[in-house]
Structures are given as structure tokens and as C-alpha cells.
Amino acid sequence: MLEGKLRILLHCNAAQVNSVEIRSSRPQISGRLLEGNGVAQALSKVPVIYSICRQAQSLAATLAAEAAGSDTTLAGLPLGARLEALQEHLWRFFIDLPGQLGEKPLLKEFAPIRQQIVQQVKLLDSGAPYDDEDDLLGRLSPEIESMVWGGSSVEWSGQGEADLQAWLESGASSVGKLLWRASQLLERSYTGYRVTCDQGLLGTDSLVDVVQALGRDDQFSAQPWLQQGHPEAGAMARHQEHPLVTALVAREQRAMARFVARLLEIDRLLNPAQAIGMGRISLGDGSGAGWVETARGILVHRLDIHHGRVQRYQVVAPTEWNFHPEGPLVREVLALAGDNVDLLRQRVQLICLSLDPCVSFEIEVYNA
């Protein structure tokens, strides 16, 4: 299990943040641990080496192996990745967000849901018969809808900006109350100049370019970039056209837009008619890539197979896009006011949570 952590250093003067430095101890050797293995052996090691989002990691690896010409099977991996993403989104709202706001985690509300998800994932891992996807999501939906939205997710997702504000203020659900507090902390958090954050969102239309860049550069996975810049990965890329998301982005409330996009993503994941995003990219000559839409954004695995063994293995995770030295976090934090250190730290913590690194992070503030 390889994780590491992020240190985020903010250098400020009395008015604003002057510079942001991200120091990552995330190891970039994990792919090399699979090289030299047979394909089946490598696939069995993937969920051990990549223990965070391991269902999605296994799914992306299997898709990549298929794209490279190996005879593999997805079995229950797509359902496992769906349940994993659902759990990750709920964890952010019920465990992490309360902690960032100085409140106790909502363990009592979250525990029964998590127990059902964990039980199903164990069945998938063991190869035992597991519940029908429609039946399982049908059982989970009413309880999740009540806790997250305080009512129908379909009705909530169809509301306008004024309705969203009314929902936040009403305290109709535990999550709504937390997001109301977060919105108040994030409101008017930027300095007078416009937030220069728009370098695009990482969508499936960019994946061929990503995979080609991986093939050319072994260092690409540590600090990925595209010709248009450093795009943002995550739920907002999948819901960028939703009126609530576009309205919040227009008001430069990108962190709140991400939280709302996560709620929309929970609604999507609960709908069995909405397939989880995944795919293969065949590169020929025993090379291929697989991708999966995870809770944090698009995950890409790429491999080369020679004489039945993995010759080269690469992974690009969403965290490397969002916490790139010139990426979304840095651009957004540079627009924050820096006169109140405690408030600045809390705002940056919320922005980091909205971008959702897959490892722990700490924030250090230095005043000139």
C-alpha cells in the first residue's frame, strides 16, 4: 500500500496569497512494482499496491490489459467501482466535511449505508454471488436521499439557483446544514481581481492525448499536463453543464460548485440506468490503456505487454491533475485574501476537500 501525503505551503502578505507550493511525498514507483510479472499476476497485485479506490484501480487495470490483447474478464468490477465511488462521495460529506468545520463526523447516519456497501464489495471480491445491481441501489436510494437531500434527489437536481440557496438555508438535511456553513466561509473569500482558474476540465475527449503523453514520457504521471494547460479532474467535469454548477462557477464559487457536482454524482450513481464511465484504448503491439471515472475524477492505467509479461506500467491519478504545481488548487488559492490566517487556512482546507486528494494533506501559512 503506497500513499504519502501533501504539504501545501502558502506564502502571503497582508492582502493576499503571493505563492503556493505543493510538496508531495506520493511515491511514483508503484507501476514498476508490476513490471516483469505475468498479466494475471500483475492484475492480482493491483488492488494491493493501489489500495485507495482499489475497485476502480482493478477495473482500469483489467480494461488496460484487455485493450492490450489479454484475455481477462470484468466480472463484478464495474459494480464494485460504482459502490466504491458512492462510498467515497458519502464519506466526504458525512466524515470529512464535518471535521473540516469543527464538528463531529456523522457516523450514526453513515454507518448503516457503509455497512451495506462494504458487505457487497466483500462478496464481489470473494467471487460469491452478489445482489442484483437494481435491487441493491433500490434499497440504498431512499435512505441516502433522506440523509443527503432531505427528499427526492430528482426534484433537488432539477431546482434552480434560488431553490438551492433556499435548500441550504432550510437545514432540510444533515448535508445541507454542513454545506450552508461551508458556503458562508467561502463566500466573498477572493480578492478584488478575477479568479483565473479556467484551464478546462479533464474529460474523456482528452484521454487519447493523455495516453499518448504517457507513452512518450515516464515522468508524465507525476505532473501531467495537456496542451491547453492543467485541467481539473473530478465530478465538476461530468456535470459542468448543469445549471447549478454553471451558476456557481459564474459567481466564482468553484468549491461550492464542486460540492454540488458531487451531490449530482451521488444521484447519478444511485441510478442503475446510468452506467459508470469506463473504457479501453487499444494502442497495438501489446499496449493498451483503461480508464474509469472515479469519485475524484478520471483514473488512467496504461501498460505494455511483451511475451506475456508486463514490460511497462503507468498510472495517472486525479490527484496529480488537481494538485499539480500549476494546477487548479494553486490557481484558485492565489486569488484568496491573506489577511486573516485562520480564515485563510479554513478556506484552503475546504477548497482542498472539494478537489479531494486521495491522501492526507496539511496546510502551512507563512506571512511576509
Beta bridge partners of 337: 16
Q: Give the pLDDT confidence score for residue 188 in this predicted structure.
A: 65
Is the pLDDT at 192 greater than 50? The verdict is no
Q: Of 229 and 128, which is predicted with more confidence? A: 229
Domain of residue 44, residue span: 5-367
Q: List for the chain the helix, strand, coil content (%; round to 5).
A: 50, 20, 30
Q: Name the strands in the sheet holding 278-284, side by side, starting at the edge strand that comes first in the sequence.
A: 278-284, 287-294, 297-306, 309-316
* DSSP assignment string, 325-368: TTSHHHHHHTTBB-S-HHHHHHHHHHHHHHH--SSEEEEEEEE-
The share of the chain scoring above pLDDT 90, in percent, equals 80
Q: Give the pLDDT confidence score for residue 198 in this predicted structure.
A: 61
Q: Which DSSP symbol is given to 2?
A: -
Beta bridge partners of 290: 280, 301
Q: Give the pLDDT confidence score for residue 51 in this predicted structure.
A: 84
Mean per-residue pLDDT, 280-285: 96
Largest CA distance in the chain: 62
Burial of 154 (0-12, 13-18, 19+ CB in 10 A): exposed
Mean per-residue pLDDT, 332-341: 88
Is the pLDDT at 52 greater than 90? The verdict is no
User: How many Å apart are CA 197 and CA 63, to the nearest integer?
Assistant: 33
Mean per-residue pLDDT, 63-73: 96
Is the pLDDT at 79 greater than 80? The verdict is yes
Instruction: Report how many domains make up the chain.
Output: 1
3-state SS of 126-146? HCCCCCCHHHHHHHHHHHHHH
Sign of CA dihedral 237, 265, 335, 346: negative
**Amino acid residing at 36:** G
**Amino acid residing at 366:** Y
Mean per-residue pLDDT, 95-110: 95
User: How many Å apart are CA 117 and CA 304, to the nearest integer?
Assistant: 34
Distances (CA, A) of 5 to 107, 281, 282, 354, 356: 25, 31, 33, 17, 12
The 10s digit of each residue's pLDDT in 120-147 is 999 888 887 777 899 999 999 999 999 9
Residue 18, all three cell numbers: 503571493
Q: How confident is the model at residue 118 (pLDDT cuts 50, 70, 90)?
A: very high
What CATH number does the domain containing 158 carry?
1.10.645.10
How long, in residues, is the chain?
Answer: 368
- Cβ proximity of 6 and 361 under 8 Å: yes
Q: Give the pairing of strands 309-316 and 297-306.
A: antiparallel
> Where does the chain show beta strands of DSSP type E?
5-12, 17-24, 278-284, 287-294, 297-306, 309-316, 360-367
Q: Name the strands in the sheet holding 17-24, side by side, starting at the edge strand that comes first in the sequence.
A: 17-24, 5-12, 360-367
The share of the chain scoring above pLDDT 70, in percent, equals 95
User: How many Å apart are CA 106 and CA 21, to the nearest integer?
Assistant: 33
The 10s digit of each residue's pLDDT in 231-247 is 999 999 999 999 999 99
Q: What pTM, to 2 d.p., does this model score?
A: 0.94
